[in-house]
Amino acid sequence: PQDRYRSRIRFRFGGSYAFNETVKIGTRMVTGSSGNPNSTHQDVGGDDDDLGSFDVSLDRLYMSYNPEWAQGTWFIFGKFGNPFAKNPVWSGLAWDDDVQPEGMAFGRDEGAFSWTAGEYVLDESSSGTETLMAVAEVRMAPVQGFGLSAALYDYDNNVDSILDRRDGDDKKSY
């Protein structure tokens, strides 16, 4: 096979604003197609069709709440980074850091033990029901470099509906 050489760039620009010690909003813009949430990399040069222009999208817009009356508890709403534990070595079984779920999550960190739960919207449909995913994770903090985490992803409705719709049609597109 012939070697492939390409130049790629990735740009991220984000920030957050804390209204007080309990409420914060945040946002982030990235290069890359909003239709491909798996990568924010952009090939330099592009296609002839787009004359080398770069796609830019808003991949985070969220509000977080950390109540003073329940130290260690947090809530997040909007489009945010997945709050679950990340595998330090890339794995197809774990969500990529570039995928930003939409919905809400909440959790509690009690030092050696923490938990997270939430609901993500996978597909919004104006003509039917949305495809949702309930999520939960329990995590034990690392001890001497070894930690433990177990997560559950429960897809609601028919997840195939995401694949069934193509340009507004209800046709299979596998």
CB 102, CB 120: distance < 8 Å: yes
Distance of CA 96 to the CA centre of its chain: 8
Q: How many CB atoms lie within 10 A of CB 100?
A: 21
* Region 40-54 average pLDDT: 63
Confidence of residue 166 (pLDDT cuts 50, 70, 90): very low
Confidence (pLDDT) at 73: 96
Q: How far is CA 92 from the centre of its chain?
A: 15
- What secondary structure does DSSP assign to 117-146, as a single string? EEEEEEE--TTSPPEEEEEEEEEEEEETTE
As a whole number, mean pLDDT of residues 6-33 equals 89
Is 159's pLDDT higher than 60?
no
Most confident of the ranges 52-66, 116-130, 157-171: 52-66
In this structure, are residues 91 and 85 in contact, taking their beta carbons and an 8 Å threshold?
no
Q: Is the pLDDT of residue 174 over 70?
A: no
Structure tokens, 35: 């239709």
* CA 26 distance to own-chain centroid: 14
Check pLDDT > 90 for residue 125.
no
**Residue 82 CB neighbours (<10 A):** 20
Q: Which is higher by pLDDT, 8 or 157?
A: 8
Q: What is the pLDDT of residues 69-84, one digit of tens each?
A: 999 999 999 999 888 8
What pLDDT sits at residue 54?
Answer: 73
- For residues 31 and 9, the answer to whether their CB atoms sit within 8 Å is yes
Those residues with Cβ within 8 angstroms of residue 61's Cβ, 6 or more apart along the chain or in another chain: 26, 27, 78, 79
